[in-house]
A = this chain, B = another copy of it.
Amino acid sequence: MIKVVIIGAGNVATHLYHCFNQAMEFNVVQVFNRNKDHLDFVEDPAKRNSDLSKIAEADLYLIAIKDEAIEDLSIKLKVKKGIVAHTSGSQDMNTLATFENYGVFYPLQTFSKTKAVDFKEIPICLEANSEPNLEFLKKAASIISDKIFEVNSEQRRALHLSAVFVNNFSNHLFALAEDYCKQNQLPFEILRPLIKETVSKIETLDPYSAQTGPALRNDQKTIAAHLEMLDEDNKKIYTILTESIQKLHGKKL
């Protein structure tokens, strides 16, 4: 049984807690958060801790707090044995170099408090300061997920940036379309099946090959008609993405 202490009470910490708590191979011995009021999600009150000097002994300490707070916390955290790993996509592993055994345990997913996720499907990106520590993290991660990747700090930053493109920016395009639908008395509902199919397509095709539309066809008439329908801000987005599609696919506007 792997003893785990989870540090944090945000979306990632909460989802990790529930996931580890359900796995027989783990024993979540404690969850730490500065503010005890946010620890209600921890079933056993005895496992809630808001005093950093009373951190329990464990095999694995998972720091799932805001990026900018990791360094400060790691200075104050006294850990004798066990591996300390953060769950951040953008922080270097060496932020934890004050510990003897450390690494990164980065679940690449978007977490919302109210939405359940299936950890088996979540890629977990691992990095560690030694081969035995990496092996330990691999063993732990593979209990909860089928998708384990060894990823160095630089690659992890690249992944985090890619995640902004595929998640934050795509979702914003959906939000812009939602806004535009409202302006035209159209229910956003009509677009949902198309959005679903857009993603369903790239389960079998790579996105480069799945590309369609007026930019790819260099259909200047449709592009011009679309540009005329948009306000200045969205015209810029349309133009820059159209140019980018044509550049990636080797055409000129």
A162 at the A/B interface (Cβ < 8 Å)? yes
Min CB distance A205 to B, Å, is: 8
In the complex, the chain B residue whose C-beta lies closest to that of A164 is B213
Greatest chain B CB density within 10 A among A151, A158, A197 is at A197
Complex Cα spacing A73 to B212, Å: 24
A226 at the A/B interface (Cβ < 8 Å)? yes
Residues of B within 8 A of A171 (CB): 198, 201-202, 207, 210-212
In the complex, the chain B residue whose C-beta lies closest to that of A245 is B172
From B185, B198, B244, contact of A237 by CB (8 A)? B244
User: With A194-B167, A201-B112, A214-B168 known to touch, is A180 a contact of B206 (CB < 8 Å)?
Assistant: no
Q: Report yes or no: A240 in contact with B229, Cβ–Cβ below 8 A.
A: no
Q: Report yes or no: B201 in contact with A199, Cβ–Cβ below 8 A.
A: no
In the complex, the chain B residue whose C-beta lies closest to that of A241 is B169
Contact with B along A64-79 (1 / 0, CB 8 A): 0001100000000000
Q: Which of A23-31, A35-43, A97-105, A215-223 contacts B (4 or more CB under 8 A)?
A: A215-223
Q: Report yes or no: B184 in contact with A154, Cβ–Cβ below 8 A.
A: yes
A108 at the A/B interface (Cβ < 8 Å)? yes
Q: Report yes or no: A109 in contact with B167, Cβ–Cβ below 8 A.
A: no
Greatest chain B CB density within 10 A among A108, A121, A174, A211 is at A174
Residues of B within 8 A of A186 (CB): 151, 155, 158-159, 162
Min CB distance A4 to B, Å, is: 23
A57 at the A/B interface (Cβ < 8 Å)? no
Which bucket holds chain A's interface residue count? 35 or more
Complex Cα spacing A65 to B240, Å: 29
Min CB distance A78 to B, Å, is: 27
17 contacts between A and B (CB under 8 A): A67-B221, A90-B225, A108-B194, A121-B193, A123-B190, A157-B225, A158-B186, A159-B181, A162-B181, A163-B177, A164-B226, A165-B180, A167-B213, A168-B212, A171-B198, A178-B207, A233-B244
State the A residues within 8 Å of B (CB).
Answer: 67-68, 90, 108-110, 112, 115, 117, 121-123, 125, 147, 149, 151, 154-155, 157-159, 161-181, 183-199, 201-208, 210-216, 221-222, 225-226, 229-230, 233-234, 236-238, 240-241, 244-245, 247-248
